Structure 1
Amino acid sequence: MTSADASLPRPRAPWWRETAILAATFVLCLSGGVAHADGTFGPPPAAAYVVAVLTCAVLPLRHRVPLAALAATTLCGMAVAPVDLLLTPLVVAPIAVAAYALAVRDERRAAVAIPLSAALLVSTTPLVETLSWQDVTRLGTVIAVPLVAGVLGWSVQNRRAYLGAVEERARRAEKSRESEARRRVAEERVRIARELHDLVAHQITLANAQAMVAAQMFDVRPEQTRTSLEDVIETTRNALDDLRATVGLLRQSGDAVAPAEPAPGLSRLPTLLESFSRAGLDVSMHQEGTARPLPPGVDLTAYRIIQEALTNVTKHAGSGSARVGLDWNRDRLTITVADDGNDAPPAPDRPPGFGLIGMRERAAAVGGQLSARRRPEGGFLVSTDLPLPAVRSTR
């Protein structure tokens, strides 16, 4: 135990426990006066009462100044032999109590003070007594009493320190679990927000573009207007289904249940491009390299990035065409989405969107990188590098 730990306030024992300890110690100390120096037994003399009262009166101080309490009880014990009392293990019971209290509170001082106290107890006995072998045995027992009490106090102190360390580790583990839970909740909220943004923004943008096409063709081509309105109905129905499914996941308790439909990937890219074509955006696609299956996370990320990039083209670009490129390399997939339009600045009363932020977060989540910049010849370019699993060589 360090000096800082020793200085910390400790809870006081209940009054009845303290009273019981003092009473038991007084009885033991007084019982030591039953054995007289001449080898006979009888009622304790008046000196035994004086020694018992003085040593026990010092014991309440052991909670605040244990070293001083041990010193005072040791001095009282040293006065036993000069007043013709026999120094026995019972007489030094108050010294054992003080030694225990010191060992519990200050291990370093106890390691020096308790052996010194035991040595001082028997130092005055040879000056007033002629020692026999029985006396040597008795004095050896007297020395052992405070030493054993110190060892017991040291054991209790170590056990308290161990239990305190266990409780502290438990508290830290609980805090770390709470922090981990909060971190996972925050990550899940960001993921759900990103999914909702991609789903709703994509579908609503398509519905808006299809409605604009229907409005433009209303007087000129009624049949095409009907087709555009049917596309609007289908798009909004899909948006409601996707929104309902996502909100359903949020309302579930316990572990999340996997959706009935698999997560979208590049296999659904033709359907995605067709939906933009129906909305009036002419999308062309070209691939380089050999396509191969992607991990689910990378596959979903690639799909969502293309979806969001084309949604931004539909919303902001003043062009009716876009180009999607897939470049399959050995260790990465490069995705490019480019248009030739001029991005209109956002309205003053409309806050900026989170499309580019969400795409960057998706790419970073799977170890990729995303860049978005204006092209010198006009338009906007979104370029993404996603890592691919290593290709195993076959013989």
Structure 2
Amino acid sequence: MPAPRAPRPRPAQLAVAVGSAVAGCLAGAFYHPAPWQPFDVRAYFLTVLVALPLALGEKRPFPVLVITAGGFTAYLVLGYQPSLNFWGPAVAFVSVAAGERRGRAGCGAVVLAAVIALSGVYGRLPWPVVAVQAVIVPAVAGAVGLTQRRLAQRNAELRRLTALLDRQQRQEARRAVLDERFRIARGLHDTISQHMTIATLPTGIAEYTFHSDPPAARAALGVATRAGRDALDELRRLLIVLRTHDVTGADEGAPARDGAGNGEGPAAPVPDDLLARIDRIPALAEHLEVAGLRVTVRFSGERRPLHPGVELCAYRVVQEALTNVVKHAAAAAAEVTVAYRDHELDVTVLDRGGRAPGPRTGPTPAVGEAVRRAGSGHGLIGMRERAKIWHGTLTAGPRPEGGFEVRLRLPLGQQLPGDHRPPGPDRGSG
């Protein structure tokens, strides 16, 4: 166990102590009127004894006061004239009032008053002056010490608040990193998992029909190829958005620019071709036909452009819900309803459960089972996270009459400027 370190005086305190000792010695050497004793070796020693302990006044305030008061008392009793060393006990009491408990500070005030009174008596001052000195000097020194105490307390509180702010900033930075990781995970799930699900089904069909129906196998492989290209395109869009754009649009009013002033900073607006929009839902439904799932898409209300993040959220929820139908349900048909209301976007995805009668156009049971096993179980979590980002709500669960329903409600507080409707008429697919 290392030995405790001895307290070291601060440079300012050391300067005060040395300066007091030198000044007291010089005053005694050049000022020694009668009838006081001549300034000799003992006087020099006692003057230094009164002054030098002041260097440790902040570390050991009360012992320093006792030493300086005792040294000054011995100096007076031996008959030496009072000089500048009169201020040694007063300076020591300032540290006592600033750093000691109230009881010790009171005792220190009594010690200082007694020493000041003794100095007045040995200095042959009138008794009223002696009394006033004995009261005024401790009062002034105590007021200075209390001021230093309050200042030290405020500095300690400031250090505490600074440390608390630093911890909060570290926590916020860590939370921001986690949020970004979740955002990337959602994006990868949307682009890789769902597109690969669509690509897996045709390859299974092609394997099953490779010898019995070569044209069907080639058609299925063509669908898988297109699904792979779509996955790569979505991944490219995701990487561009993550690198250069702020999908949340937090600073939409003042787009940031990069170092070259090109408007490609983190808060720059996201180009329309990089984000999935609601008007791409019918195309998504057509892609799912290869999985044997007929999807009917219906729009209601006045269609209007929305915030890009809201449109992306709605599209991804529909994409995940339909993919879950392919993975986990035995349904042959699903319905998507997008309702534009005055202050809300209402999106519903439902399947009625069971298989419709007629020839099977979807994957074989073995392929379907492989796709269902590939599900990660993170789909509903990701959908709820997306809805929460845009202050919306998402409910999902089985329907009493059979099947499953996912419903998304998003408030429409932010809209893009202008009133340009998305291209293409309202249409369904199935």
Same fold, TM-score > 0.5, yes or no: yes
Confirm or deny: 8 A CA contact 2:72 2:86 kept in the other structure.
Answer: yes
Deviation of the 1:44 alpha carbon: 0.8
Deviation of the 1:277 alpha carbon: 2.3
Confirm or deny: 8 A CA contact 2:347 2:407 kept in the other structure.
Answer: yes
Quote the residue 1:70 is aligned against.
65
Cα RMSD, aligned residues only = 4.3
Q: 1-side partners of 2:170 and 2:101: how far apart?
A: 36
Quote the residue 2:233 is aligned against.
241
Q: 2-side partners of 1:20 and 1:329: how far apart?
A: 78
Structure-2 change in CA distance of 1:314 and 1:247 (3 Å)? same
Quote the residue 1:3 is aligned against.
none
Quote the residue 1:192 is aligned against.
184
Q: 2-side partners of 1:267 and 1:347: how far apart?
A: 27
Q: 2-side partners of 1:334 and 1:303: how far apart?
A: 12
Structure-2 change in CA distance of 1:82 and 1:315 (3 Å)? closer
Deviation of the 1:175 alpha carbon: 2.5
Deviation of the 1:335 alpha carbon: 1.9
Q: 2-side partners of 1:286 and 1:323: how far apart?
A: 8
1:28 aligns to 2:23 (yes or no):
yes
Q: 2-side partners of 1:326 and 1:225: how far apart?
A: 35
Quote the residue 1:262 is aligned against.
274
Deviation of the 1:381 alpha carbon: 1.6
Question: What residue ranges of structure 1 are gaps of 5+ in the alignment?
Answer: 1-8
Confirm or deny: 8 A CA contact 1:326 1:336 kept in the other structure.
Answer: yes
**Identity of counterpart residues, as a percentage?**
32
Quote the residue 2:306 is aligned against.
294
Letter in 2 for 1:38: A
Deviation of the 1:375 alpha carbon: 2.4
Q: Secondary structure at the match of 1:91?
A: helix
Deviates more, 1:318-327 or 1:56-65: 56-65
The partner residue of 1:359 within 371, 377, 383 is 383
Deviation of the 1:320 alpha carbon: 1.9
Deviation of the 1:356 alpha carbon: 1.4
Q: 2-side partners of 1:307 and 1:350: how far apart?
A: 16
Quote the residue 2:399 is aligned against.
375
Q: 2-side partners of 1:86 and 1:139: how far apart?
A: 19
Deviation of the 1:366 alpha carbon: 1.5
Confirm or deny: 8 A CA contact 2:395 2:407 kept in the other structure.
Answer: yes
1:341 aligns to 2:333 (yes or no):
no
Q: 1-side partners of 2:217 and 2:177: how far apart?
A: 45
Letter in 1 for 2:285: L
Quote the residue 1:121 is aligned against.
115
Letter in 1 for 2:234: D
Letter in 1 for 2:311: D
Q: 2-side partners of 1:124 and 1:163: how far apart?
A: 38
Q: 1-side partners of 2:303 and 2:206: how far apart?
A: 37
The partner residue of 1:277 within 283, 289, 300 is 289
Structure-2 change in CA distance of 1:305 and 1:46 (3 Å)? closer
Quote the residue 2:408 is aligned against.
384
Deviates more, 1:186-195 or 1:327-336: 327-336
TM-score normalised to structure 2 length:
0.70
Question: What residue ranges of structure 2 are gaps of 5+ in the alignment?
Answer: 246-257, 259-264, 356-367, 416-430
Deviations 1:163-218 (CA, angstroms, capped at 9, x unpaired): 55544444333332221111111011101111111111221121122334445665
The partner residue of 1:308 within 304, 315, 320 is 320
Confirm or deny: 8 A CA contact 1:335 1:385 kept in the other structure.
Answer: yes
Paired residue total: 379
Deviates more, 1:234-243 or 1:288-297: 288-297
Q: 2-side partners of 1:304 and 1:108: how far apart?
A: 68
Structure-2 change in CA distance of 1:379 and 1:215 (3 Å)? farther
1:83 aligns to 2:78 (yes or no):
yes
Letter in 1 for 2:72: G
Q: 2-side partners of 1:30 and 1:66: how far apart?
A: 24
Q: Secondary structure at the match of 2:410?
A: strand
Q: 1-side partners of 2:235 and 2:341: how far apart?
A: 35
Letter in 2 for 1:296: P
Quote the residue 1:323 is aligned against.
335
Deviates more, 1:225-234 or 1:262-271: 225-234
